């Protein structure tokens, strides 16, 4: 006797079939990407320049971008919702950024001495995020590394707290329990500190205490268990490497107050959220200002960038040399020219109004599409960022994220890609980023593809 597949099992069978068909179509569309990858493999590790680019079924090579669109090496055009993992909030080749960089490069592009643009950039960030003193670096990894060094230098303590399932870059202090496996991750409310592979010394495990997102009791336990030893906590105020997970009501305030009560500091990792969820990131949206903010990605308008902001008291440790915040390329003139244009000319109040209109269109359209196809999902979105979550339940933390099937995100990513919408690879983990140059037509292409996806899953 055969039993017809029903409910989620029926969907998973359909998804397996869909993934097989769409992966074959994907590879068939991209012969030039395949050729470049093969050639690159002889001189680049894995044929790429960052391991995240090794996304299945095959790395996509890009030729160029303009406005809301990118073109791959095979000549296909896409609505770009990948946007360089959210760095291109300004869209591609924005005229103001192009002009600023072109003007700057003719005047010399690097001196390792400050140029005048560093001042308006720092002032604009202070104004937006409400922390007075800033320094610059070159990546999100540098920003969170500086934040942790700074918390240790200010408090004279060594341990830090991070959230299970959060990614803060690839330095030793934060490469713990980023995507831990089910069999190793430990109790829900007292997670184990699991290193991201053998490159991270096991000897450092005790220095990074892991807690679940959104759980103030668990934070209390961690702080009490390590009383007087915690320098601070690095926290994405809305989690953005496992979809989009907003903080529960009162959480950010509770975290800040608990840390301060134990003599510890709070650093927000706003590398992804900063500028994309609103003009002053989650800091301004929530009204809860941390001691330190880490920025990168979107603040540079597409040029490598990083920044940390802090209270006058915290940043005094840099001024007096307790913490040596240094770097040859810090405040690089090209970066500062692009950041100044981004902050003062492009990301205006009108630009945020436009992003908000697009957010409503993509969220409402996606939710309506899911309902129409009877797919048990929802949309989680904040400002320019958002994702379809193919689960009826709200995702509150890493363990919830693990509980629903990866195939949904991958199949959706493939269907969008093969039909001209470039979402970030690693479908289930990531989210779209709208840019100020996206239009209703761009959103509608995404919705048309989501509708096609619904039909394919439910046919
Ligand atoms: N923090 C968060 C929240 C991130 O998502 C990332 C990168 O994706 C980083 C830090 C590290 O930034 P970068 O890749 O520029 O080093």
Tell me the pLDDT tens digit for each residue of 267-319. 999 999 999 999 999 999 999 999 999 999 999 999 999 999 999 999 999 99
Pocket flag, ligand 1, residue 85 (CB < 6 Å): yes
The confidence score (pLDDT) of residue 71 equals 98
Query: Is residue 390 within 6 Å of ligand 1 at its C-beta?
Result: no
pLDDT band, very low/low/confident/very high, at 245 (cuts 50, 70, 90): very high
- Say whether pLDDT at 366 is over 90: yes
Res 423: pLDDT = 98
- Does residue 140 line the site of ligand 1, with CB under 6 A? yes
For ligand 1, say whether the CB of 139 is within 6 Å of any of its atoms: yes
Q: How confident is the model at residue 12 (pLDDT cuts 50, 70, 90)?
A: confident
Is 268 a pocket residue for ligand 1 (Cβ < 6 Å)? no
Ligand 1: nearest atom to the Cα of 85: 8
Does pLDDT of 147 surpass 70?
yes
pLDDT at 8: 60
Share of the chain above pLDDT 90, in %: 94
Residues 6+ apart with CB under 8 A from 448: 419
Give the nearest ligand 1 atom to 306 CA.
15
Closest ligand 1 atom to the C-alpha of 144? Answer: 10
DSSP assignment letter at 117: T
Q: What pLDDT was estimated at residue 2?
A: 35
Dist. CA 168 → ligand 1 center (Å): 5
Does 82 have pLDDT greater than 80? yes
CA of 302 to the centre of ligand 1 (A): 14
Residue 267: which H helix or E strand, with range?
strand 265-269
* Cβ 296 under 6 angstroms from ligand 1: yes
Q: Is the CB of 281 under 6 A from ligand 1?
A: no
Mutating to test ligand 1, I would choose from 85, 136, 138, 140 the residue with most ligand atoms within 8 A of its C-beta, which is 140
Nearest CA to ligand 1 atom 13: 140
Quote the pLDDT of residue 3: 36
Is 4's pLDDT higher than 60? no
Q: Give the whole-angstrom CA distance, residue 256 versus residue 260.
A: 6
Residue 141, ligand 1, Cβ within 6 A? yes
What single-letter DSSP state applies at residue 246? Answer: P
Q: How far is the CA of 192 from the centre of ligand 1 (A)?
A: 22
Question: 129 CB less than 6 Å from ligand 1?
Answer: no
Tell me how far apart the alpha carbons of residues 275 and 140 are, in angstroms, rounded to a whole number.
14
Compute the average pLDDT of residues 248-255: 98
Q: 6 pLDDT band (50/70/90 cuts)?
A: very low
Name the token pair of 2: 């055969």
Q: Look at residue 7 and tell me whether its pLDDT is greater than 90.
A: no
Please choose from 272, 295, 382 the residue to mutate so as to test ligand 1's pocket, defined by most ligand atoms within 8 A of CB. Answer: 272
Q: From CA 416, how far away is CA 260, in angstroms rounded?
A: 45
Whether the CB-CB separation of 300 and 329 falls below 8 Å is answered with: no
Q: What is the mean pLDDT of residues 220-238?
A: 98
Q: Is pLDDT above 60 for 383?
A: yes
pLDDT higher than 90, residue 346 = yes
Nearest Cα neighbor of 458 from 403, 381, 390, 363 is 390
* Averaged pLDDT of the chain: 96
C-beta neighbour count of 257 within 10 angstroms: 14
Residue of minimum CA distance from atom 10 in ligand 1: 168
- How would residue 11 be classed by pLDDT, with cut points 50, 70 and 90? confident
Q: Looking at ligand 1, which residue's alpha carbon is closest to its atom 7? A: 169
Strands 421-422 and 230-235: unpaired
The pLDDT of residue 1 is 33
185 pLDDT more than 70: yes
Long-range pairs for 32-40 at CB < 8 Å and ≥24 separation? Answer: 32/61, 32/72, 32/73, 32/74, 32/75, 33/58, 33/59, 33/60, 33/61, 33/72, 33/73, 33/74, 34/58, 36/61, 36/73, 37/61
**Contact in structure between 34 and 27 (CB atoms under 8 Å):** yes
Q: What is the pLDDT of residue 51?
A: 95
**E-assigned strands of 10-106?**
62-66, 69-72, 77-80
């Amino acid at each position: 006797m055969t039993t017809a597949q029903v409910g989620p099992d029926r969907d998973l069978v359909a998804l397996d079939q869909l993934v097989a068909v769409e992966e074959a179509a994907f590879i068939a569309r991209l012969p030039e990407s395949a050729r470049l990858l093969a050639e690159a493999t002889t001189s680049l590790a894995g044929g790429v320049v960052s391991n995240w680019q090794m996304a299945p079924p095959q790395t996509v090579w890009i030729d160029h971008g303009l406005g809301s669109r990118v073109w791959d090496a095979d000549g296909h055009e896409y609505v770009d919702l990948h946007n360089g993992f959210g760095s291109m909030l300004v869209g591609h080749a924005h005229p103001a950024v192009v002009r600023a960089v072109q003007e700057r490069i003719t005047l010399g592009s690097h001196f390792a001495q400050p140029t005048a643009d560093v001042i308006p950039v720092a002032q604009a960030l202070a104004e937006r995020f409400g922390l007075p003193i800033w320094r610059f670096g070159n990546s999100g990894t540098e920003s969170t590394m500086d934040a942790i060094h700074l918390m240790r230098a200010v408090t004279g303590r060594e341990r830090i707290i991070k959230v299970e399932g959060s990614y803060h870059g690839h330095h030793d202090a934060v490469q713990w329990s980023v995507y831990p496996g089910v069999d190793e991750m430990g109790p829900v409310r007292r997670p184990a500190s699991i290193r991201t592979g053998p490159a991270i010394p096991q000897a450092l495990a005790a220095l990074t205490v892991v807690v679940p997102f959104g759980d103030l009791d668990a934070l209390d336990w961690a702080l009490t268990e390590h009383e007087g030893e915690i320098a601070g906590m690095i926290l994405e105020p809305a989690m953005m490497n496992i979809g989009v997970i907003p903080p529960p009501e009162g959480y950010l305030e509770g975290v800040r107050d608990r840390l301060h009560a134990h003599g510890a500091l709070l650093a927000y990792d706003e590398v992804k959220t900063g500028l994309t969820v609103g003009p002053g990131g989650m800091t301004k949206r929530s009204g809860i200002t941390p001691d330190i903010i880490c920025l990168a990605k979107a603040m540079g308008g597409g040029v490598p960038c990083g920044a940390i902001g802090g209270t006058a008291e915290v940043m005094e440790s840099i001024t007096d040399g307790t913490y040596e915040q240094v770097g040859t390329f810090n405040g690089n003139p090209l970066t500062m020219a692009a950041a100044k244009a981004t902050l003062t000319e492009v990301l205006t109040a009108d630009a945020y109004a436009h992003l908000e209109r697009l957010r409503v269109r993509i969220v409402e359209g996606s939710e309506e599409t899911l309902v129409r196809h009877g797919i048990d999902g929802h949309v989680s979105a904040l400002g320019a960022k958002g994702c379809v979550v193919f689960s009826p339940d709200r995702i509150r933390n890493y363990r919830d994220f693990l509980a629903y099937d990866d195939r949904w995100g991958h199949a959706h990513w493939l269907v969008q890609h093969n039909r001209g919408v470039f979402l970030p690879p690693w479908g289930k983990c990531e989210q779209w980023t709208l840019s100020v140059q996206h239009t209703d037509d761009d959103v509608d292409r995404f919705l048309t593809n989501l509708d096609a996806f619904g039909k394919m899953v439910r046919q």
